[in-house]
Chains A and B, each alone.
Chain A
């Protein structure tokens, strides 16, 4: 991607290199010098694995943040957060939060509902896009900001 993921890529390459080092050089080294020290390739492997794991989550986090940032600037640019929200809902299926079922038809069925338990699980941690719910909440905040009535009527006919 960009500079942000460089550390991850380097770590991944080192991991791969260390694996080969282990396969091809391992046997010879073991027979020659068994002085008991931790082999260099093992250290590289562990360090790069850790770096890779951390950078994996960080790049995903960055990706989600960028997505939210794009939503925000898009909403301000078009001044229509609502249009953006309906488009988002359309392309990502239906929002799993707010239902379309009627309260009255559901009332007698309440006993059969099992509330969804996990909210921000592992799934959310590794996804490249923020959840629809999160994106809509941000858009709702922008809409509230844009939709606030003016305090004092401007010059000309009074605002309602």
Chain B
């Protein structure tokens, strides 16, 4: 009854991101490796719109310090892109996908807790295969779903590989159903 009433009154409830989905990525990585030969590259990044002011800067510093405190000493860098978005890039050993996803989860949750949830855009975990094909597993924060983004050139993308990734991971991850939402991320770090 409630969805019907919402439709009548024209209300929409935004989807809540379930950040725990990020912990499903390590098992998805194994599936991608066995079924498509795609291996994790060891990097992962979170894309968000940085806010002005001291509160934001402090949060970012805290997150970076938190990740650097890890005994494995992962490499963290902060980059700005042409669209005005900030990328927080974490690099770890290629085999340590669990650690990487924990870091990405930590970045997302701390920004969310400090009230910067509105600026969070996506989280990207890139994969590559021996023949040089690359595909980024993108987690859309505002939808709570994943999709594959496989750039094959400057502005071209390998739709077939993206569909293949969706078919492989359908059982494990919440994949984005609407193909219109599979938007490109040209020049994302690690892709």
Instruction: Give chain A's interface residues, CB within 8 Å of chain B.
Output: 81-82, 85, 89, 95, 97-107, 113, 115-116, 133, 136-137, 139-141, 143-144, 147-149, 160
Q: How far is the CB of A157 from chain B (nearest CB, A)?
A: 13
Contact at B159–A103, with CB atoms within 8 Å?
Answer: no
- 20 further interface pairs, Cβ-Cβ under 8 Å (given A99-B180, A137-B163): A85-B159, A89-B159, A97-B180, A98-B159, A98-B162, A99-B183, A99-B184, A100-B184, A103-B122, A103-B138, A104-B83, A105-B83, A116-B180, A139-B160, A140-B161, A143-B160, A148-B36, A149-B34, A149-B35, A160-B130
Question: Interface residues of B: mostly helix, strand, loop or mixed?
Answer: mixed
Q: Are B167 and A141 in contact (CB under 8 A)?
A: yes
Q: Which of B130, B163, B183 contacts A103 (CB 8 A)?
A: B183
CA distance A160 to B94 in the complex (A): 15
Which of B35, B158, B160, B186 is close to A148, meaning CB atoms less than 8 Å apart? Answer: B35
Task: Give the interface of B toward A (CB within 8 A).
Answer: 34-37, 47, 81, 83-85, 121-122, 130, 138, 155, 157-164, 167-168, 178-180, 182-186
9 tightest CB-CB pairs across the interface, nearest first? A97-B179, A140-B163, A103-B183, A104-B83, A149-B37, A85-B160, A140-B164, A144-B164, A98-B182
In the complex, which residues of chain B have a beta carbon less than 8 angstroms from the beta carbon of A95? 159
By the criterion CB–CB under 8 Å, are B178 and A115 in contact?
yes
In the assembly, what is the distance between CA of A70 and CA of B36, in Å?
25
Measured between beta carbons, the chain B residues less than 8 angstroms from A136 are: 159-160, 163
Flag if B157 contacts A98 (CB, 8 Å).
Answer: yes
> With A85-B160, A97-B180, A147-B37 in contact, do A104 and B167 touch (Cβ < 8 Å)?
no
Most buried by A among B130, B159, B180, B186: B159
Contact A140-B184, Cβ < 8 Å, known A100-B155, A104-B85, A105-B83: no
Instruction: Tell me whether A143 and B161 are in contact (CB under 8 A).
Output: yes
CB distance from A93 to the nearest CB of B (A): 14
| Nearest chain B CB to A41 CB, angstrom units | 50
**Given contact pairs A140-B160, A144-B168, A160-B130, A103 touches B178 in the complex (Cβ within 8 A):** no
Interchain CB contact under 8 A, B164 and A99: no
**Shortest CB–CB separation between residue B40 and chain A, in angstroms?**
14
Most-contacted residue by chain A among B36, B184, B185 (CB, 10 A): B184
Contact of B160 among A81, A106, A107 (CB under 8 A): A81
Which B residues touch A104, using CB under 8 A? 47, 81, 83-85, 121, 185
Q: Judging by beta carbons under 8 Å apart, are B159 and A115 in contact? A: no
Query: How far is the CB of B50 from the nearest CB of chain A, in Å?
Result: 13
A140 touches B167 (CB 8 A): yes
Which residues of chain A are near B36, meaning CB under 8 Å?
144, 147-149
Cβ–Cβ contact B183 & A101, under 8 A:
yes
23 residue pairs of the A-B complex, CB under 8 angstroms, read: A89-B159, A95-B159, A97-B182, A98-B157, A98-B159, A98-B182, A103-B121, A103-B122, A103-B185, A105-B83, A113-B180, A115-B180, A116-B180, A136-B159, A140-B160, A140-B161, A140-B163, A141-B167, A144-B36, A144-B167, A148-B37, A149-B35, A160-B130
Q: How far is B37's CA from A105's CA once the two chains are assembled, in angstroms?
A: 32
Most buried by A among B34, B158, B160, B180: B160
A82 contacts which chain B residues (CB < 8 A)?
A: 158, 160-161
